Amino acid sequence: MVKKAVIIKGDGIGPEVVNSMLSILKECNIQSELIFCDAGSEQWEKNGFKDKSYIPDSTMSLLEETDACFKGPTTTIPKPNAPRSVAVTLRQKFNLYSNIRPIKTFQSLTPDKNLDFVCFREATEGLYSGVEVQVSDDAAIAIRQITRNGCRRFILSALDWATKYDLKKIVAITKRNILKKTDGIFWDEIQNCLKEFPGISLQEIYIDNMAQQLVVNPEQFNDSILLSTNLFMDIISELASGIVGSIGLIYSANMGDSFAMFEAAHGSAPTFKGQNKVNPVATILAGAWMAEYLGEAHIKDAIFSATEYVINENKTTTFDIGGNATTTQMSDAISSIAKEKLRK
């Protein structure tokens, strides 16, 4: 049976980079069915701000009938009465509890650093669970919700990843000396889950020290999985992404038991909308990862290899990584090499 994925082009630069990704998938002869839908603040604004969500009901209905989705960058308006972000809404709706962000450097961009590790972020609980209370005109409280079941399913997914890719170390990032109850549950469940994976070691680092260690000596985390709760890993994965050379290179997936959402790690960058100059790599690699999830691993392999070649050759790259190519020119270069690899 042919698998299906919803494609949301998003806001700002979203349509440009998503179109680049789609062009490459088409040239690589993807067989999965791709269904196009609207979501994001721009369509919300076009509808007169009347919807309760950035995701129209028609889009949500289609999402419920597919295997995965690709979410282009979307804008979340920072106002109290605006809807929750598209990403958070989909993570909650489909229980996409594991946000996975590979961190890998490219030789031509960071010759003094060689990084290769993975950030695993619990994506449905913590301070992003959306439980806030206005207790007075002058004060509000946000609830950091941590459950044993939520921790366990997330931790087991990280350990399954470690087994699949032969990674032997988990680095747990906590603030257990201060957040004794919530991080205490998280730590307990890590230790419980590790009993089922005797070949994997465990190191705990407090969040403040972890930020310092990533700056001072990030290579110490190579061949490891960095594991943490929602907000902590949101920050740490952004810091790690900066070391790679550009946020335009960083891709991610949000996975649950039966659905996955793929996306670039960067935002919608409305300042650059319509200029055909932003880096399409994060979107292209996330789309290739989606192809693998849909059962077409050969496409992912070809696109990943082609992307690495184009970046390290440094002839057709965008401004953020030292080149002067347009979005289209860089994606076309990747597409040409990926097609050639698939012919062999």
pLDDT at 55: 94
pLDDT at 306: 98
Q: To which CATH superfamily is domain 1-94+267-344 assigned?
A: Isopropylmalate Dehydrogenase (3.40.718.10)
Q: How confident is the model at residue 131 (pLDDT cuts 50, 70, 90)?
A: confident
Q: How many CB atoms lie within 10 A of CB 113?
A: 13
Q: Would you say 201 and 190 are in contact if contact means Cβ atoms under 8 Å apart?
A: no
Q: Into which CATH architecture does domain 110-244 fall? A: 3-Layer(aba) Sandwich (3.40)
Q: How confident is the model at residue 128 (pLDDT cuts 50, 70, 90)?
A: confident
Q: Is the pLDDT of residue 49 over 90?
A: no
Q: Is the pLDDT of residue 47 over 90?
A: no
> For 235-282, what is each residue's pLDDT tens digit?
999 999 999 989 999 999 999 999 999 999 999 999 999 999 999 999
Q: How confident is the model at residue 322 (pLDDT cuts 50, 70, 90)?
A: very high
Q: Would you say 51 and 83 are in contact if contact means Cβ atoms under 8 Å apart?
A: yes
pTM (2 decimals)?
0.94
Question: Rounded to an integer, what distance in angstroms lies between the CA atom of residue 322 and that of residue 3?
Answer: 38
Residue ranges of E strands in the chain: 4-8, 33-37, 68-71, 98-104, 116-122, 132-136, 139-142, 169-174, 201-206, 224-228, 251-255, 260-264
- The domain segmentation of the chain, as residue ranges, is 1-94+267-344, 110-244
Which one, of 200, 264, 205, lies nearest residue 236 by Cα? 205
> For 59-91, what is each residue's pLDDT tens digit?
999 999 999 999 999 999 888 788 989 999 999
Q: Would you say 316 and 267 are in contact if contact means Cβ atoms under 8 Å apart?
A: no
pLDDT at 132: 87
For tokens 């269904």, the residue is 35
Q: What is the mean pLDDT of the chain?
A: 95
> For 191-231, what is each residue's pLDDT tens digit?
999 999 999 999 999 999 999 999 999 999 999 999 999 99
HEC per residue, 223-284: CEEEEECHHHHHHHHHHHHHHHCCHHHCEEEEECCCCEEEEECCCCCHHHCCCCCCCCHHHH
Mean pLDDT of 83-104: 95
- Judge if 1-94+267-344 and 110-244 fold alike in CATH terms: yes
Q: Would you say 69 and 36 are in contact if contact means Cβ atoms under 8 Å apart?
A: no
Residue percentage of the chain with pLDDT more than 90 = 91
Question: Rounded to an integer, what distance in angstroms lies between the CA atom of residue 194 and that of residue 15?
Answer: 42
166: CB partners within 8 A, 6+ apart: none
Q: Is the pLDDT of residue 50 over 80?
A: no
Q: How confident is the model at residue 310 (pLDDT cuts 50, 70, 90)?
A: very high
